[in-house]
Amino acid sequence: MQFSSIDWIFVFSYFIFVLSVGFYFSKKAGRNIENFFISGRSLPWWIAGTSMVATTFGADTPLAVTEIVAKNGIAGNWLWWNFILGGMMTVFLFSKLWRRSEVLTDIEFTELRYSGKPASILRGFRAVYLGLPVNCMIMAWGILAMSSILGVTFSFPKYKAIIISLIIAVFYSVLSGFWGVVVTDLFQFVIAMTGSIALAVISIEHVGGIEILKSKVIQINPEALNFFPSLSSSSLPFITFFVYIAIQWWATWYPGSEPGGGGYVAQRMLATKNEKHAVFATLWFNIAHYALRPWPWILVALCSLIVFPNLSDAKMGYPKMMVTFLPTGLKGLMIAAFFGAFMSTIDTHLNWGASYIVNDFYKRFIKKKASPSHYVLVSRITIIIIMIFAGFTAYWLESIKGAWELLIAVGAGTGLIYILRWYWWRINAWSEISAMVCSFITAVILLKTPLGEGGDLNWAYRIIITVGITTFVWIMVTLLTPPVDKEHLVNFYKKIHPPGIWKSIQHKISVGNNNQSLLPDIINWILGTILIYSALFGFGKLILLEFGKGIFFLLITFISSIALFKNLSKFKTDQGGLK
């Protein structure tokens, strides 16, 4: 791809900006690990929420969506659309509880909720497991996507593209800490959205408009434009769709969409000013992530089916559309946008993974008492180590979608624990340990059977089997092992005030039963879910020129929005309102 001086100006301007932010916040981030990892708990909802959105807009995301649409049509996006249900549950049932916990990481929550040696073992293991292998896999598919884009646009060998991506990411992340992450995320989100919308508009013009796009896509795949698969769908088996909407969102652990909240979403909730900011941050994240952002990617993916119908690697249709159709100036903007998307994901995962390694392993088990500057230095070194591991992982990773499915399969069956541990006193550390071990073993064994041969149908059956076995095992282990120490549970209850099944703990508290009702939160969860799905479908129908259906869905969006925000106006917090 030929780059003009204007294109290079866009790219270099982007790097100058982010490096400037990195230098600016380097001193502030270096004060202590609370500043380095959660910005001193001072973020307003709009910064924290936009940072969540930017993080999930990685360089890999549009490529993965292109791969999904090429194989399964629009309905294939239910692989991640189903997480709306869990995301809205996080907004209304968990975000305020997370902020109330005042932990530094969601893994530190382990010893707040559980007691004894099992709790400390679980905390240490999850810190290393999620901070290194799992985190490196997540970063690896982002690096793989960025290297693919650079390889297409500049004809770089894969290893050179990966090295360039690593150097840029690690230098900026080591400098700025979480302050730089969230501030640059605002800028990165704007340019990434601008670039993706511009590419979608230009791609549609080059194929002749929406009507021609629809007719040609239907000729390639008659089911490609369906929002839902039919019972006899050849593109997406109905059993797979059933697993998406009925099991996956609550039963599986997936970074950024953890049942009950967790990971970098929890990190941003913990970084907000108070509970109300945590609620509004996660609400804005879910609206932007699911309702506003998917359609530019999907439209470019559909156009790529027409322009490049014989690609051996379907995900490469997205960067090829960039190279083929973007004019001078917009090419540079789009490359800058992809660097922005890439950086917003990588810097988050470097910071988030380092927070686990340093706060939940090194500080907890190796060097418990040291100066704040010492822990910040160790954090910066840890970021470099994680980046090296992620680079090697990226080199052998082949399929982004396949990595998504593998991670979901390995975490299948654990999700319900992350929901119930807030609401049922009987859950203990052995519940989580047994679920993690059983889920992993079952998933690995199934991969060695005929069900492990690949394909959406086999994947769905693997999830059903893994969830069923794992859920049975952890429930039995919970009932057969001693409960968490009562005094520990009393302290947890006094700090969090969770609703749910806590009567045996409430009896030990002299203030009596101050348990809260879950009904208002459940109503808001339902309203929020309706809002996002109706907005997602409404915008999609309007874009595809199906105006009657589009207006109908958007009317539902409007009604549910009014009801939801009326309920949210009654929000109460002991930590003050929005400022």
Type and span of the H or E element at 96:
helix 95-101
pLDDT, residue 190, reads 87
Would you identify the CATH topology of the domain 5-26+44-410? Answer: Sodium/glucose cotransporter (1.20.1730)
Q: Report helix, strand and coil shares of the chain as percent, to nearest 5.
A: 75, 0, 20
Cβ atoms within 10 Å of 69's Cβ, excluding its own:
29
Rounded to 10 degrees, the C-alpha dihedral 190/195/201/205 comes to 170
For residues 177 and 35, the answer to whether their CB atoms sit within 8 Å is: yes
- The end-to-end CA distance of the chain, in Å, is 48
Residue ranges covered by each domain of the chain: 5-26+44-410
| CB-facing half-sphere around the CA of 390: CA atoms within 13 A | 34
- Residue 272 pairs with which residues in a beta bridge? 43
Please give the structure tokens belonging to residue 100.
């109330």
Close Cβ partners of 529 (under 8 Å, ≥ 6 residues apart):
84, 85, 88
The stretches of 358-428 forming alpha helices (DSSP H) are: 372-396, 400-410, 415-420
Q: Which of 232-246, 260-274, 299-313, 540-554 has the lowest mean pLDDT?
A: 232-246
The pLDDT value recorded for residue 188 is 81
Which DSSP state fits 130?
I
pLDDT of residue 575: 43
Helix H segments across 422-570? 429-447, 456-480, 486-496, 503-506, 519-543, 547-568
pLDDT tens-digit series, residues 354-385: 999 999 999 999 999 899 889 989 998 999 99
The pLDDT value given to residue 254: 73
Residues 124, 366: Cα–Cα separation, whole Å? 11
Averaged pLDDT for residues 77-95? 94
pLDDT single digits (tens) 158-176 = 667 667 767 777 776 777 7
Backbone angles phi, psi at 310, to 5 degrees: -115, 30
- Residue 307 burial (CB count, 10 A): 17
Asked whether residue 337 carries a pLDDT value surpassing 50, the answer given is: yes
Is residue 409 over pLDDT 70? no
Residue 572's pLDDT band, with cuts at 50, 70 and 90, is: low
Is pTM beyond 0.85 here? yes
pLDDT in tens, 476-493: 999 999 999 999 999 999
% of the chain at pLDDT higher than 70? 92
Mean pLDDT over all residues of the chain? 87
Stretch among 190-199, 235-244, 333-342 having the lowest mean pLDDT: 333-342
Q: How many C-beta atoms surround the C-beta of residue 372 within 10 A?
A: 14
Q: Which of 152, 130, 341 is nearest to 254 (CA)?
A: 130
555-559: long-range contacts, CB 8 A cutoff, minimum separation 24: 556/530, 557/531
**Total count of residues recorded for the chain:** 579
For residue 57, what pLDDT band results from cuts at 50, 70 and 90? confident
pLDDT exceeds cutoff 90 at 258: no
- Closest CA relative to residue 270, chosen from 149, 140, 107: 107
Q: What is the pLDDT of residue 191?
A: 85
Using the predicted structure, report yes or no on whether residue 353 has a pLDDT greater than 80.
yes
